[in-house]
Amino acid sequence: MSHHSNSLNSEELARYSRHILLEEIGVDGQEKLKKSRVLVIGAGGLGSPVSMYLAAAGVGTLGIADFDKVELHNLQRQLLHGTNDIDSLKTQSARARLRDINPHVSIVLHESGVTPQNAINLFGQYDLVVDGSDNFSTRYLNNDASYFSKTPLVYGSIFKFEGQVSLFNNSHEAPCYRCLFPEPPPPGSVPNCGEAGVLGALCGIIGSLQALEAIKQILRIGDSLSGSLLVLDTLSMRTRKLKIKKDPQCPLCGQSPAIKEILADSYQDNCDLEEPISESMENNSHPIEIDVSEANRLLQSGEATLIDVREPYENDICKIEKSILIPMNTIPSNLDQVPTSGPVLLCCHHGSRSMQVTQYLRQNGYSNAINVAGGIDAWARNIDTSLQRY
């Protein structure tokens, strides 16, 4: 009997015996898994369960694309990484964890993550891509690269207590993510900038469903989620399976598509988009936004007031000295605390909530309101590195 590279040795037969016992998998199915190449985008909340289950299942080649480093606030849900991994690259701790789970899997790291420049070529090296990204720009990029490279995409996302799973672009007739959501939501309308809460166990559920869907797709068993969106609401524990139709008007896969290639400019992060500045502000002597260095200089000079618009628990994690805490939703009832002269600096975690407050104050006559770009996170990186980041 010939032993080609995809046949299983005795150690592997024992390791995968509970898979092999399943009639729908068997030795043939297990060898299919070993032959398969799967790319996981993101080694975070979804990418952790996805990659751990796929590695344990014996997927032969597992790509991990992520450019981030492990931070303390990741550990509440990103089980690929441990406390000792803080500050190291997620790909590195992911590889160590996955190798320990299953040394038979070949782990390929893509430490630049997915970019408009590399996406199509990267996807082309795999049979299947699993999307564990946490923002709309990457999701659209993944969908478009999946479509152009003809590599099916297992989609998953979570918001508050709700999760969604689907399979896109697995055939010419199959709908894509843009058939479901043609355009990203407008900036600021959806928590998309790291300020939204995430329930750790929900990541485990949705990521596991994605891993399961990937395994079904590789083995060609069961009914795939192509053309369906599985929606799980964990507060009510209700699931719904909605039909997704291929949209003839879809900007990507429709009859006369507007998107014909991957252009880098089309995938900018919503959070990075410049906020619209009305014309009445142009003559204002105060800029609407300054960086943390300039904010620090103004504070040191004693002429500026710093208002922190985060929530009290965030203020307990870290705060900038001499800042006044007025949480965002209490600003309207505390306008008497906002000085009408001298620069008033508004600061939050990453700079998007404080920009909303800045615009609100300017509309209410506070031409001295100035947003601190990047928020206290930028402050912790550039001004006071002793601050606890989160």
Catalytic residue positions?
193, 348
Complete DSSP assignment for 128-153: EEEE---SHHHHHHHHHHHHHHT--E
Nearer to Zn ion, 139 or 178 (CB): 178
If the CB atoms of residues 252 and 348 are measured against Zn ion, the closer one turns out to be: 252
CB of 165 to Zn ion, least distance (A): 17
User: What part of residues 15-54 is at the interface with Zn ion (CB under 5 A)?
Assistant: none
Span near Zn ion by CB under 5 A; candidates 128-136, 171-179, 300-308, 354-362: 171-179
Q: Which is nearer to Zn ion, 124 or 248 (CB)?
A: 248
CA-based nearest residue to 372, from 350, 389, 341:
350
Which residues are within 8 A (CB) of 10 and not within 5 positions of it... i.e. 6 or more apart? none
List C-alpha distances in Å: 164 to 167, 198, 217, 226, 231.
11, 14, 17, 13, 5
C-beta atoms surrounding 350 within 10 Å: 17
314 neighbors 350 (Cβ within 8 angstroms):
no
Q: Which of 77, 97, 139, 178 binds Zn ion (CB under 5 A)?
A: 178
Residue 37, H or E segment: strand 37-41
User: Contact region for Zn ion (CB under 5 A) — 75-83, 175-183, 325-333, 362-370?
Assistant: 175-183
Q: How many residues bind Zn ion (CB under 5 A)?
A: 6
Q: Which is nearer to Zn ion, 257 or 342 (CB)?
A: 257
Please report whether residue 153 would count as binding Zn ion according to CB under 5 A.
no
* Least Cβ distance, residue 213 to Zn ion (angstroms): 19
Spatial distance between the Cα atoms of 96 and 85, rounded to a whole number of angstroms: 10
Q: By CB under 5 A, is residue 176 in contact with Zn ion?
A: yes
Which of 179, 211, 288, 307 forms a contact with Zn ion (CB under 5 A)?
A: 179
For Zn ion, the closer of residues 255 and 333 by Cβ is 255
Selected range binding Zn ion among 187-195, 217-225, 242-250, 336-344, rule: CB under 5 A: 242-250
Interface stretch with Zn ion, choices 137-145, 210-218, 248-256, 346-354 (CB under 5 A): 248-256
* Candidate ranges 26-34, 164-172, 243-251, 263-271; the one touching Zn ion (CB under 5 A): 243-251
SS3 121: helix
**For Zn ion, which is the closer residue by CB, 203 or 252?**
252
User: Considering the complex, what minimum distance in angstroms separates the CB of residue 211 from Zn ion?
Assistant: 24
Q: Where is 220: in which H helix or E strand? A: none
Quickly tell me which residue has 């038979």 as its tokens: 104
Q: Supply the minimum distance, in Å, between the C-beta of residue 81 and Zn ion.
A: 34
Nearer to Zn ion, 168 or 379 (CB): 168
Integer Cα distance of 60 and 70 in angstroms: 26
Least CB distance from residue 186 to Zn ion, whole Å? Answer: 20
Judge contact between 71 and 389, C-beta under 8 A: yes
Q: How far is the CB of 179 from Zn ion (least distance, A)?
A: 4
Q: In the bound complex, which residue of the shown chain has the CB atom lying closest to Zn ion?
A: 250
Sheet containing strand 305-308, edge to edge, reads: 289-290, 369-372, 344-347, 305-308, 324-325
How many C-beta atoms surround the C-beta of residue 22 within 10 A? 12
* Angle in degrees, 0-180, between the axes of helices 26-35 and 200-219, rounded to the nearest 10: 110
The CB density around residue 41, as the number of other CB atoms within 10 Å, is 29
Those residues whose C-beta lies under 8 Å from the C-beta of residue 85, and which sit 6 or more positions away, are 70, 92, 93
Nearer Cβ to Zn ion, position 26 or 182? 182
295 is a contact residue toward Zn ion (CB under 5 A): no
Residues listed for the chain? 390
Stretch that binds Zn ion, among 253-261, 263-271, 277-285, 353-361 (CB under 5 A): 253-261
Position 139 contacts Zn ion (CB under 5 A): no
List, in sequence order, every beta strand (DSSP E) within 177-249: 228-233, 238-243
250 binds Zn ion (CB under 5 A): yes
Choose, by CB under 5 A, the member of 80, 158, 253, 306 that binds Zn ion: 253
Interface residues toward Zn ion, by CB under 5 A: 176, 178-179, 250, 252-253
